Chains A and B, each alone.
Chain A
Amino acid sequence: MSFLEVTSFLFDGFIISLLIFGVTLLLGAPLGLPIAFCSMSRFKPLKYLSKVIVWIVRGIPLMLQIFIIYYVPGLLFGFQLFGQVDRFFLLEYGIMDAGRITAVLIAFTLNYACYFSEIYRGGIESISKGQYEAGYVLGMTKSQIFRKIILKQVIQRIVPPMSNEIITLIKDTALANCIMVCEIIKQAKELAATKAMIWPLFYTGVFYLLFVGLLTVVLGKLEKKLSYFRS
Protein backbone atom coordinates (compact mmCIF):
# COMPACT_ATOMS: atom_id res chain seq x y z
CA MET A 1 0.00 0.00 0.00
CA SER A 2 1.37 3.39 -0.92
CA PHE A 3 1.64 6.27 1.49
CA LEU A 4 -1.21 8.00 -0.30
CA GLU A 5 -3.42 4.94 -0.07
CA VAL A 6 -2.71 4.62 3.64
CA THR A 7 -3.44 8.29 4.13
CA SER A 8 -6.73 7.98 2.32
CA PHE A 9 -7.63 4.83 4.28
CA LEU A 10 -6.87 6.56 7.58
CA PHE A 11 -8.69 9.68 6.48
CA ASP A 12 -11.85 7.62 6.04
CA GLY A 13 -11.50 6.75 9.72
CA PHE A 14 -10.75 10.33 10.69
CA ILE A 15 -14.03 11.39 9.09
CA ILE A 16 -15.75 9.14 11.63
CA SER A 17 -13.65 10.69 14.44
CA LEU A 18 -14.71 14.14 13.24
CA LEU A 19 -18.32 13.00 13.05
CA ILE A 20 -18.25 11.89 16.68
CA PHE A 21 -16.49 15.14 17.60
CA GLY A 22 -18.99 17.33 15.73
CA VAL A 23 -22.15 15.64 16.90
CA THR A 24 -20.99 15.50 20.51
CA LEU A 25 -20.20 19.19 20.44
CA LEU A 26 -23.39 20.14 18.63
CA LEU A 27 -25.69 18.14 20.91
CA GLY A 28 -23.66 18.00 24.11
CA ALA A 29 -23.00 21.74 24.43
CA PRO A 30 -26.70 22.72 24.40
CA LEU A 31 -27.71 19.70 26.49
CA GLY A 32 -25.27 20.84 29.16
CA LEU A 33 -27.33 23.99 29.75
CA PRO A 34 -30.51 22.39 31.13
CA ILE A 35 -28.34 20.07 33.23
CA ALA A 36 -26.49 23.10 34.62
CA PHE A 37 -29.76 24.89 35.41
CA CYS A 38 -31.15 21.76 37.07
CA SER A 39 -28.08 21.41 39.27
CA MET A 40 -28.53 25.05 40.35
CA SER A 41 -32.27 24.66 40.82
CA ARG A 42 -33.86 25.58 44.10
CA PHE A 43 -36.15 22.58 43.65
CA LYS A 44 -34.18 20.03 45.65
CA PRO A 45 -35.21 16.75 43.95
CA LEU A 46 -34.26 18.14 40.55
CA LYS A 47 -31.00 19.49 41.91
CA TYR A 48 -29.97 16.20 43.48
CA LEU A 49 -31.12 14.15 40.51
CA SER A 50 -28.90 16.13 38.18
CA LYS A 51 -26.02 16.09 40.65
CA VAL A 52 -26.25 12.29 40.87
CA ILE A 53 -26.33 11.97 37.08
CA VAL A 54 -23.30 14.23 36.73
CA TRP A 55 -21.52 12.28 39.47
CA ILE A 56 -22.15 8.94 37.74
CA VAL A 57 -21.27 10.15 34.28
CA ARG A 58 -18.08 11.84 35.42
CA GLY A 59 -17.22 9.03 37.79
CA ILE A 60 -17.20 6.17 35.28
CA PRO A 61 -14.66 5.81 32.47
CA LEU A 62 -16.12 6.90 29.16
CA MET A 63 -15.12 3.56 27.65
CA LEU A 64 -17.27 1.76 30.19
CA GLN A 65 -20.17 4.08 29.42
CA ILE A 66 -19.87 3.19 25.75
CA PHE A 67 -20.03 -0.51 26.66
CA ILE A 68 -23.03 0.09 28.91
CA ILE A 69 -24.99 1.99 26.29
CA TYR A 70 -24.12 -0.47 23.57
CA TYR A 71 -24.67 -3.73 25.43
CA VAL A 72 -27.10 -3.08 28.29
CA PRO A 73 -30.29 -2.67 26.19
CA GLY A 74 -29.55 -6.09 24.71
CA LEU A 75 -28.92 -7.65 28.12
CA LEU A 76 -32.08 -6.13 29.58
CA PHE A 77 -34.50 -6.69 26.74
CA GLY A 78 -32.83 -9.59 24.98
CA PHE A 79 -32.78 -7.48 21.86
CA GLN A 80 -29.63 -6.09 20.28
CA LEU A 81 -30.97 -2.59 19.61
CA PHE A 82 -27.86 -1.11 18.05
CA GLY A 83 -27.10 -4.35 16.22
CA GLN A 84 -30.47 -4.06 14.53
CA VAL A 85 -29.78 -0.44 13.57
CA ASP A 86 -26.43 -1.60 12.19
CA ARG A 87 -28.01 -4.25 10.06
CA PHE A 88 -30.81 -1.97 8.87
CA PHE A 89 -28.50 0.76 7.62
CA LEU A 90 -26.06 -1.72 6.12
CA LEU A 91 -28.78 -3.52 4.17
CA GLU A 92 -30.73 -0.43 3.14
CA TYR A 93 -27.99 2.08 2.44
CA GLY A 94 -24.76 0.15 2.70
CA ILE A 95 -23.62 2.31 5.65
CA MET A 96 -21.21 0.52 7.98
CA ASP A 97 -21.39 0.69 11.75
CA ALA A 98 -24.50 2.92 11.97
CA GLY A 99 -25.77 1.24 15.13
CA ARG A 100 -22.39 1.24 16.84
CA ILE A 101 -21.82 4.86 15.93
CA THR A 102 -25.25 5.75 17.32
CA ALA A 103 -24.36 4.10 20.62
CA VAL A 104 -21.06 5.97 20.71
CA LEU A 105 -22.76 9.28 19.91
CA ILE A 106 -25.25 8.78 22.74
CA ALA A 107 -22.50 7.92 25.22
CA PHE A 108 -20.29 10.82 24.13
CA THR A 109 -23.11 13.35 24.09
CA LEU A 110 -24.28 12.40 27.57
CA ASN A 111 -20.75 12.32 28.92
CA TYR A 112 -19.71 15.64 27.47
CA ALA A 113 -23.01 17.31 28.31
CA CYS A 114 -22.29 16.56 31.96
CA TYR A 115 -18.75 17.94 31.76
CA PHE A 116 -20.02 21.02 29.92
CA SER A 117 -22.79 21.49 32.47
CA GLU A 118 -20.22 21.73 35.25
CA ILE A 119 -18.29 24.33 33.29
CA TYR A 120 -21.48 26.32 32.71
CA ARG A 121 -22.43 26.05 36.36
CA GLY A 122 -19.01 27.23 37.48
CA GLY A 123 -19.19 30.12 35.02
CA ILE A 124 -22.65 31.21 36.07
CA GLU A 125 -21.90 30.92 39.77
CA SER A 126 -18.71 32.95 39.40
CA ILE A 127 -20.61 36.08 38.34
CA SER A 128 -20.95 38.39 41.30
CA LYS A 129 -24.33 38.95 42.90
CA GLY A 130 -23.78 42.67 42.34
CA GLN A 131 -24.27 42.25 38.59
CA TYR A 132 -27.74 40.81 39.12
CA GLU A 133 -28.57 43.46 41.71
CA ALA A 134 -27.41 46.29 39.46
CA GLY A 135 -29.70 45.01 36.70
CA TYR A 136 -32.50 44.55 39.15
CA VAL A 137 -32.40 48.06 40.59
CA LEU A 138 -32.34 49.41 37.03
CA GLY A 139 -35.72 47.77 36.50
CA MET A 140 -34.64 44.92 34.24
CA THR A 141 -36.47 41.62 34.08
CA LYS A 142 -34.78 38.39 35.12
CA SER A 143 -34.50 37.31 31.53
CA GLN A 144 -33.06 40.67 30.45
CA ILE A 145 -30.51 40.45 33.24
CA PHE A 146 -29.46 36.99 32.11
CA ARG A 147 -29.39 37.72 28.39
CA LYS A 148 -27.98 41.24 28.44
CA ILE A 149 -25.66 41.19 31.44
CA ILE A 150 -24.76 37.75 32.69
CA LEU A 151 -24.51 35.66 29.53
CA LYS A 152 -21.58 37.36 27.87
CA GLN A 153 -19.56 37.42 31.07
CA VAL A 154 -20.24 33.72 31.51
CA ILE A 155 -19.19 33.02 27.93
CA GLN A 156 -15.97 34.92 28.45
CA ARG A 157 -15.21 32.87 31.53
CA ILE A 158 -16.08 29.48 30.09
CA VAL A 159 -14.21 29.75 26.80
CA PRO A 160 -10.84 28.64 28.25
CA PRO A 161 -12.19 25.57 30.12
CA MET A 162 -14.46 24.72 27.18
CA SER A 163 -11.45 24.88 24.86
CA ASN A 164 -9.70 22.32 27.03
CA GLU A 165 -12.69 19.99 26.93
CA ILE A 166 -13.08 20.40 23.18
CA ILE A 167 -9.44 19.50 22.61
CA THR A 168 -9.82 16.49 24.91
CA LEU A 169 -12.92 15.48 22.98
CA ILE A 170 -11.19 14.98 19.65
CA LYS A 171 -8.67 12.69 21.34
CA ASP A 172 -11.40 10.85 23.26
CA THR A 173 -13.08 9.85 20.00
CA ALA A 174 -10.43 7.12 19.77
CA LEU A 175 -12.36 5.30 22.51
CA ALA A 176 -15.04 4.48 19.97
CA ASN A 177 -12.87 1.65 18.69
CA CYS A 178 -13.70 -0.31 21.86
CA ILE A 179 -16.95 -1.33 20.15
CA MET A 180 -15.38 -1.65 16.73
CA VAL A 181 -16.37 1.72 15.27
CA CYS A 182 -14.08 2.40 12.33
CA GLU A 183 -12.54 5.62 13.58
CA ILE A 184 -8.97 6.42 12.66
CA ILE A 185 -7.19 4.25 15.26
CA LYS A 186 -9.38 1.29 14.39
CA GLN A 187 -8.47 1.79 10.75
CA ALA A 188 -4.79 1.82 11.63
CA LYS A 189 -5.16 -1.34 13.69
CA GLU A 190 -6.90 -2.89 10.71
CA LEU A 191 -3.81 -2.19 8.62
CA ALA A 192 -1.60 -3.66 11.29
CA ALA A 193 -3.68 -6.83 11.39
CA THR A 194 -4.23 -7.38 7.70
CA LYS A 195 -1.17 -5.82 6.09
CA ALA A 196 1.33 -6.14 8.93
CA MET A 197 1.97 -2.37 8.72
CA ILE A 198 2.59 -0.77 12.10
CA TRP A 199 3.68 2.75 11.05
CA PRO A 200 0.16 3.93 10.09
CA LEU A 201 -0.79 3.59 13.76
CA PHE A 202 1.78 6.24 14.66
CA TYR A 203 0.95 8.25 11.58
CA THR A 204 -2.59 8.78 12.97
CA GLY A 205 -1.04 11.15 15.49
CA VAL A 206 -0.40 13.62 12.68
CA PHE A 207 -4.12 13.83 11.95
CA TYR A 208 -4.90 14.61 15.57
CA LEU A 209 -2.09 17.10 15.83
CA LEU A 210 -3.17 19.02 12.75
CA PHE A 211 -6.77 19.17 13.93
CA VAL A 212 -5.83 20.17 17.47
CA GLY A 213 -3.61 22.85 15.98
CA LEU A 214 -6.55 24.21 14.02
CA LEU A 215 -8.79 24.11 17.11
CA THR A 216 -6.17 25.89 19.18
CA VAL A 217 -5.94 28.71 16.68
CA VAL A 218 -9.72 29.11 16.31
CA LEU A 219 -10.47 28.91 20.03
CA GLY A 220 -7.57 31.21 20.80
CA LYS A 221 -9.02 33.78 18.38
CA LEU A 222 -12.40 33.51 20.11
CA GLU A 223 -10.79 33.94 23.50
CA LYS A 224 -8.92 36.99 22.27
CA LYS A 225 -12.05 38.46 20.74
CA LEU A 226 -13.80 38.21 24.11
CA SER A 227 -10.91 39.67 26.05
CA TYR A 228 -11.85 43.28 25.29
CA PHE A 229 -13.47 43.49 28.71
CA ARG A 230 -12.43 42.34 32.15
CA SER A 231 -15.07 41.11 34.55
Chain B
Amino acid sequence: MSILEVKNIKKSFGKTEVLKDVSFTLEEGEVLSIIGSSGSGKTTILRCINQLETADSGFIKVNGEVFFDGENRPKKEDPKEKRRKQLLVGLVFQNFNLFPQYNVLENVTLAAKLQATELPEYKENKVKINAEIDEKAKDILGKVGLLDKLNNYPCELSGGQQQRVSIARALILEPKILFFDEPTSALDPELTGEILKVIKSLAEEKVTMVIVTHEMSFAKAVSSKVIFMDNGVIEEEGTPEEVFDNPKSHRTKEFISKFDD
Protein backbone atom coordinates (compact mmCIF):
# COMPACT_ATOMS: atom_id res chain seq x y z
CA MET B 1 0.00 0.00 0.00
CA SER B 2 1.30 3.43 -0.92
CA ILE B 3 1.82 5.84 1.93
CA LEU B 4 0.56 8.70 -0.21
CA GLU B 5 -2.10 8.45 -2.90
CA VAL B 6 -3.12 11.51 -4.84
CA LYS B 7 -5.80 10.89 -7.44
CA ASN B 8 -7.31 13.23 -10.02
CA ILE B 9 -6.88 16.34 -7.91
CA LYS B 10 -8.33 19.49 -9.41
CA LYS B 11 -8.15 22.94 -7.92
CA SER B 12 -9.10 26.35 -9.22
CA PHE B 13 -8.77 29.77 -7.67
CA GLY B 14 -11.66 31.69 -9.12
CA LYS B 15 -11.27 31.29 -12.88
CA THR B 16 -7.64 30.10 -12.85
CA GLU B 17 -7.39 26.36 -13.03
CA VAL B 18 -4.24 25.71 -11.03
CA LEU B 19 -4.34 21.91 -10.77
CA LYS B 20 -5.84 20.03 -13.68
CA ASP B 21 -6.12 16.40 -12.74
CA VAL B 22 -2.98 15.58 -10.76
CA SER B 23 -2.34 11.98 -9.71
CA PHE B 24 0.67 10.26 -8.19
CA THR B 25 1.64 7.83 -5.46
CA LEU B 26 4.55 7.55 -3.08
CA GLU B 27 5.86 4.55 -1.17
CA GLU B 28 7.14 4.58 2.37
CA GLY B 29 10.81 5.57 2.61
CA GLU B 30 10.83 7.16 -0.82
CA VAL B 31 11.87 10.70 -1.60
CA LEU B 32 9.86 12.49 -4.24
CA SER B 33 11.07 15.69 -5.83
CA ILE B 34 8.61 17.95 -7.60
CA ILE B 35 10.14 20.31 -10.11
CA GLY B 36 8.54 22.73 -12.53
CA SER B 37 8.37 26.34 -13.49
CA SER B 38 6.85 29.09 -11.41
CA GLY B 39 3.06 28.99 -11.23
CA SER B 40 2.80 25.36 -12.32
CA GLY B 41 0.93 24.41 -9.13
CA LYS B 42 3.66 22.81 -7.00
CA THR B 43 2.87 24.75 -3.86
CA THR B 44 -0.85 24.28 -4.39
CA ILE B 45 -0.63 20.49 -4.50
CA LEU B 46 1.44 20.51 -1.30
CA ARG B 47 -1.09 22.77 0.37
CA CYS B 48 -3.96 20.53 -0.71
CA ILE B 49 -2.29 17.48 0.82
CA ASN B 50 -1.48 19.40 4.01
CA GLN B 51 -5.09 20.54 4.38
CA LEU B 52 -4.21 24.21 4.04
CA GLU B 53 -6.24 24.29 0.84
CA THR B 54 -9.24 22.17 -0.10
CA ALA B 55 -9.19 20.62 -3.56
CA ASP B 56 -12.25 20.91 -5.79
CA SER B 57 -12.35 17.24 -6.67
CA GLY B 58 -10.25 14.09 -6.52
CA PHE B 59 -8.95 11.93 -3.76
CA ILE B 60 -6.07 12.07 -1.25
CA LYS B 61 -5.04 9.27 1.07
CA VAL B 62 -2.17 9.37 3.56
CA ASN B 63 -1.02 6.28 5.42
CA GLY B 64 -4.30 4.56 4.60
CA GLU B 65 -6.44 7.44 5.88
CA VAL B 66 -8.67 9.47 3.62
CA PHE B 67 -7.60 13.12 3.77
CA PHE B 68 -9.87 14.26 1.00
CA ASP B 69 -12.55 12.61 -1.05
CA GLY B 70 -14.32 14.85 -3.54
CA GLU B 71 -17.10 12.29 -3.97
CA ASN B 72 -17.80 11.91 -0.31
CA ARG B 73 -17.16 15.06 1.65
CA PRO B 74 -18.12 15.13 5.28
CA LYS B 75 -20.64 17.93 5.83
CA LYS B 76 -18.78 19.21 8.81
CA GLU B 77 -15.44 17.73 9.66
CA ASP B 78 -14.63 17.21 13.31
CA PRO B 79 -11.72 19.58 14.03
CA LYS B 80 -10.17 17.10 16.42
CA GLU B 81 -10.14 14.42 13.74
CA LYS B 82 -8.70 16.87 11.26
CA ARG B 83 -5.88 17.73 13.66
CA ARG B 84 -5.15 14.07 14.29
CA LYS B 85 -4.76 13.54 10.54
CA GLN B 86 -2.74 16.71 10.24
CA LEU B 87 -0.09 15.15 12.46
CA LEU B 88 0.52 12.43 9.88
CA VAL B 89 2.07 15.03 7.62
CA GLY B 90 4.61 17.76 8.25
CA LEU B 91 5.30 20.84 6.17
CA VAL B 92 8.44 22.95 5.98
CA PHE B 93 7.76 26.37 4.53
CA GLN B 94 9.86 28.34 2.12
CA ASN B 95 10.06 31.26 4.56
CA PHE B 96 10.37 29.15 7.74
CA ASN B 97 7.46 30.76 9.64
CA LEU B 98 9.17 30.26 12.98
CA PHE B 99 7.40 31.73 16.00
CA PRO B 100 9.43 34.88 16.72
CA GLN B 101 8.60 35.17 20.42
CA TYR B 102 9.94 31.71 21.25
CA ASN B 103 13.54 30.60 21.38
CA VAL B 104 14.82 27.69 19.32
CA LEU B 105 14.01 25.01 21.88
CA GLU B 106 10.54 26.42 22.53
CA ASN B 107 9.81 26.64 18.82
CA VAL B 108 10.54 22.95 18.47
CA THR B 109 8.71 21.81 21.61
CA LEU B 110 5.63 24.07 21.51
CA ALA B 111 3.36 21.87 19.42
CA ALA B 112 4.49 18.66 21.11
CA LYS B 113 3.87 20.12 24.55
CA LEU B 114 0.42 21.31 23.55
CA GLN B 115 -0.29 17.83 22.20
CA ALA B 116 0.83 16.32 25.46
CA THR B 117 -1.70 18.30 27.50
CA GLU B 118 -4.38 16.12 25.92
CA LEU B 119 -2.86 12.92 27.35
CA PRO B 120 -4.93 11.37 30.14
CA GLU B 121 -1.86 11.04 32.39
CA TYR B 122 -0.70 14.62 31.73
CA LYS B 123 -1.80 16.06 35.08
CA GLU B 124 0.21 13.63 37.21
CA ASN B 125 3.27 13.49 34.96
CA LYS B 126 3.42 17.02 33.65
CA VAL B 127 7.02 17.68 34.63
CA LYS B 128 8.31 14.36 33.38
CA ILE B 129 6.44 14.56 30.07
CA ASN B 130 7.70 18.07 29.35
CA ALA B 131 11.24 17.06 30.27
CA GLU B 132 11.03 14.15 27.84
CA ILE B 133 9.85 16.46 25.10
CA ASP B 134 12.76 18.81 25.80
CA GLU B 135 15.18 15.88 25.60
CA LYS B 136 13.70 14.72 22.34
CA ALA B 137 13.89 18.22 20.92
CA LYS B 138 17.53 18.53 21.92
CA ASP B 139 18.21 15.21 20.24
CA ILE B 140 16.73 16.42 16.98
CA LEU B 141 18.34 19.84 17.25
CA GLY B 142 21.64 18.05 17.75
CA LYS B 143 21.11 16.19 14.52
CA VAL B 144 20.54 19.40 12.60
CA GLY B 145 23.56 20.95 14.32
CA LEU B 146 21.86 23.57 16.48
CA LEU B 147 22.60 22.43 20.03
CA ASP B 148 24.50 25.65 20.68
CA LYS B 149 21.50 27.80 19.70
CA LEU B 150 18.81 26.39 22.01
CA ASN B 151 18.20 29.71 23.76
CA ASN B 152 18.47 31.99 20.75
CA TYR B 153 15.49 33.70 19.21
CA PRO B 154 14.76 33.31 15.49
CA CYS B 155 15.78 36.93 14.80
CA GLU B 156 19.25 36.03 16.05
CA LEU B 157 19.72 33.20 13.56
CA SER B 158 20.80 33.03 9.94
CA GLY B 159 18.24 31.93 7.37
CA GLY B 160 19.86 28.52 7.13
CA GLN B 161 19.72 28.06 10.90
CA GLN B 162 16.09 29.19 10.97
CA GLN B 163 15.21 26.67 8.30
CA ARG B 164 16.96 23.92 10.25
CA VAL B 165 14.88 24.86 13.32
CA SER B 166 11.74 24.64 11.25
CA ILE B 167 12.75 21.19 10.02
CA ALA B 168 13.36 20.10 13.63
CA ARG B 169 9.99 21.57 14.58
CA ALA B 170 8.30 19.37 11.99
CA LEU B 171 10.37 16.27 12.84
CA ILE B 172 9.54 16.22 16.53
CA LEU B 173 5.94 15.30 15.70
CA GLU B 174 7.19 12.27 13.72
CA PRO B 175 5.11 12.81 10.61
CA LYS B 176 4.65 9.90 8.23
CA ILE B 177 5.56 12.18 5.34
CA LEU B 178 7.54 15.38 5.49
CA PHE B 179 6.84 17.98 2.83
CA PHE B 180 9.23 20.76 1.85
CA ASP B 181 8.16 23.74 -0.22
CA GLU B 182 11.32 25.16 -1.78
CA PRO B 183 13.21 24.94 1.51
CA THR B 184 16.24 26.78 0.16
CA SER B 185 14.66 29.44 -2.04
CA ALA B 186 14.63 32.12 0.65
CA LEU B 187 18.28 31.51 1.50
CA ASP B 188 21.50 33.06 0.33
CA PRO B 189 23.20 30.62 -2.07
CA GLU B 190 25.99 29.86 0.40
CA LEU B 191 23.45 28.69 2.98
CA THR B 192 21.53 26.23 0.81
CA GLY B 193 24.16 23.54 1.36
CA GLU B 194 23.47 23.12 5.07
CA ILE B 195 19.76 22.54 4.42
CA LEU B 196 20.38 20.11 1.59
CA LYS B 197 22.77 18.21 3.85
CA VAL B 198 20.07 17.86 6.51
CA ILE B 199 17.54 16.63 3.95
CA LYS B 200 20.08 14.18 2.58
CA SER B 201 20.69 12.73 6.03
CA LEU B 202 16.93 12.36 6.52
CA ALA B 203 16.74 10.51 3.22
CA GLU B 204 19.45 8.16 4.47
CA GLU B 205 17.31 7.48 7.53
CA LYS B 206 14.48 6.54 5.17
CA VAL B 207 12.23 9.45 6.12
CA THR B 208 9.49 9.68 3.51
CA MET B 209 9.71 13.12 1.92
CA VAL B 210 8.19 15.23 -0.81
CA ILE B 211 10.40 18.13 -1.85
CA VAL B 212 9.46 20.97 -4.15
CA THR B 213 12.75 22.36 -5.34
CA HIS B 214 14.65 24.27 -7.97
CA GLU B 215 17.92 22.58 -6.96
CA MET B 216 18.18 20.16 -9.88
CA SER B 217 21.41 18.40 -9.03
CA PHE B 218 20.22 17.96 -5.47
CA ALA B 219 16.88 16.54 -6.65
CA LYS B 220 18.74 14.17 -8.90
CA ALA B 221 21.01 12.98 -6.10
CA VAL B 222 18.51 12.58 -3.31
CA SER B 223 15.23 11.47 -4.87
CA SER B 224 13.91 8.06 -5.68
CA LYS B 225 11.27 9.64 -7.86
CA VAL B 226 10.88 12.92 -9.73
CA ILE B 227 7.78 14.68 -10.99
CA PHE B 228 7.90 17.53 -13.47
CA MET B 229 4.84 19.72 -13.24
CA ASP B 230 3.84 22.10 -15.94
CA ASN B 231 0.78 24.29 -16.06
CA GLY B 232 -1.22 22.27 -13.53
CA VAL B 233 -0.50 18.81 -14.87
CA ILE B 234 2.19 16.21 -14.30
CA GLU B 235 4.06 16.40 -17.56
CA GLU B 236 6.59 13.74 -16.71
CA GLU B 237 7.27 11.33 -13.89
CA GLY B 238 9.96 8.74 -13.26
CA THR B 239 13.28 7.97 -11.63
CA PRO B 240 15.79 10.82 -11.53
CA GLU B 241 17.72 9.19 -14.39
CA GLU B 242 14.60 8.94 -16.54
CA VAL B 243 13.44 12.50 -15.95
CA PHE B 244 16.80 14.28 -15.96
CA ASP B 245 18.82 12.22 -18.42
CA ASN B 246 16.20 10.90 -20.81
CA PRO B 247 13.15 13.13 -20.63
CA LYS B 248 10.42 11.96 -22.96
CA SER B 249 8.39 15.13 -23.03
CA HIS B 250 9.50 18.13 -25.02
CA ARG B 251 8.42 20.53 -22.19
CA THR B 252 10.55 18.62 -19.68
CA LYS B 253 13.58 18.74 -21.98
CA GLU B 254 13.14 22.46 -22.39
CA PHE B 255 12.80 23.03 -18.64
CA ILE B 256 15.78 20.91 -17.67
CA SER B 257 18.03 22.36 -20.34
CA LYS B 258 17.60 25.76 -18.66
CA PHE B 259 19.41 24.40 -15.63
CA ASP B 260 22.27 22.79 -17.51
CA ASP B 261 25.47 24.56 -17.04
A contact set with B: CB distance below 8 Å: 128, 130-131, 133-142, 144, 148-149, 152-153, 156, 228-231
Total contacting residues, chain B, CB less than 8 A: 29
A-B contact pairs, 22 of them (CB 8 A): A131-B97, A131-B99, A133-B52, A134-B97, A134-B99, A136-B51, A136-B86, A137-B50, A137-B52, A138-B110, A138-B173, A139-B84, A139-B87, A139-B173, A140-B114, A141-B79, A148-B110, A229-B101, A229-B155, A230-B100, A230-B155, A231-B100
Q: Within the complex, which residue of A133, A140, A141 is in contact with B93, where a contact is CB–CB below 8 Å?
A: A133
Residues from chain A with a CB closer than 8 A to the CB of B97 are 128, 130-131, 133-134
Once bound together, how far apart are the Cα atoms of A153 and B99, in whole Å? Answer: 9
Chain B contact residues, CB within 8 Å of chain A: 50-52, 79, 83-84, 86-87, 89-91, 93, 95, 97-101, 110-111, 114-115, 153-155, 166, 169-170, 173
The answer to whether A152 touches B101 (Cβ under 8 A) is: yes
A144→B91 CA distance, assembly (Å): 19
Return B186 CB to nearest CB of chain A, in Å: 11
Report the bound CA distance from A231 to B100 in whole Å.
5
Q: Is the CB of B100 within 8 A of A153?
A: yes
**Which residues on B sit within 8 Å (CB–CB) of A229?**
100-101, 153-155
| B98 CB contacts on chain A under 8 angstroms | 134
Provide the main secondary structure of the chain B interface. Answer: mixed
Bound Cα distance A139, B117 (Å): 13
- Complex CA gap A163/B166 in Å reads 34
A149 near B95: Cβ-Cβ < 8 Å: no
Contact A139/B101 with A144-B114, A229-B154 known, Cβ cut-off 8 Å: no
Q: Which residue of A lies closest to B179 (CB)?
A: A137
List the A residue with the shortest CB-CB distance to B103: A229
Supply 20 further A-B pairs (C-beta < 8 A) apart from A133-B93, A136-B86, A231-B100: A130-B93, A130-B95, A133-B52, A133-B97, A134-B93, A134-B98, A136-B51, A137-B86, A138-B110, A139-B86, A139-B115, A140-B114, A144-B114, A153-B100, A229-B100, A229-B153, A229-B155, A230-B100, A230-B153, A230-B155
Bound CA span A138–B114, Å: 10
List B contacts of A139 (CB < 8 A): 83-84, 86-87, 111, 115, 173
Cα(A229)–Cα(B98), bound, Å = 12
CB neighbours of A136 from chain B (8 A): 51-52, 86
B100 touches A148 (CB 8 A): no
Residues of A contacting B84 with CB < 8 Å?
Answer: 139
Residue ID in chain A nearest B94 by CB atoms: A130
**B93 contact set on A, CB distance < 8 A:** 130, 133-134
- Which chain A positions have C-beta within 8 A of B153? 228-230
Which of A140, A156, A228 is close to B111, meaning CB atoms less than 8 Å apart? Answer: A140
A47 to B148, CA, bound (A): 48
Inter-chain CA distance A152–B106, complex, in Å, is 14
Provide the bound-state CA to CA distance between A149 and B169, in Å: 14
Nearest to A231 among chain B residues (CB) is B100
User: A154 CA to B159 CA in the complex, in Å?
Assistant: 23
**Bound state CA distance, A139 and B100, in angstroms?**
18
Q: Whole-angstrom distance from the CB of B101 to the nearest CB of chain A? A: 5
A-B pairs with lowest CB-CB distance, top 7: A138-B111, A134-B97, A230-B155, A231-B100, A130-B97, A229-B100, A137-B91
| Shortest beta-carbon distance from A227 to chain B in Å | 10
Which residues of B have CB within 8 Å of A128? 97
Q: In the complex, how many angstroms separate the beta carbon of B79 from the nearest chain A beta carbon?
A: 7
- B-side contacts of A144, CB under 8 Å: 114
Distance in angstroms between the alpha carbons of A149 and B110 in the assembled complex: 10
CB distance from A222 to the nearest CB of B (A): 15
Interface centre among A136, A152, A153, A156, by most chain B C-beta atoms within 10 angstroms, is A136
Query: Using Cβ atoms and an 8 Å threshold, which residues of chain B touch A133?
Result: 52, 93, 97
Residue in chain B with minimal CB distance to A144: B114
- Complex Cα distance, B51 from A141, in Å, reads 14
For residue A131, which residue of chain B has the nearest CB?
A: B97
CB-defined contacts of B100 to chain A, threshold 8 Å: 153, 229-231
Contact B111 A231 (CB under 8 A): no
Query: Which residues on the B side are within 8 Å of A152 (C-beta)?
Result: 101
Q: How far is the CB of B162 from chain A (nearest CB, A)?
A: 12
Q: Name the distance in Å between A156's Cβ and chain B's nearest Cβ.
A: 8
The residues of B that contact A149 with a CB separation of less than 8 Å are 99
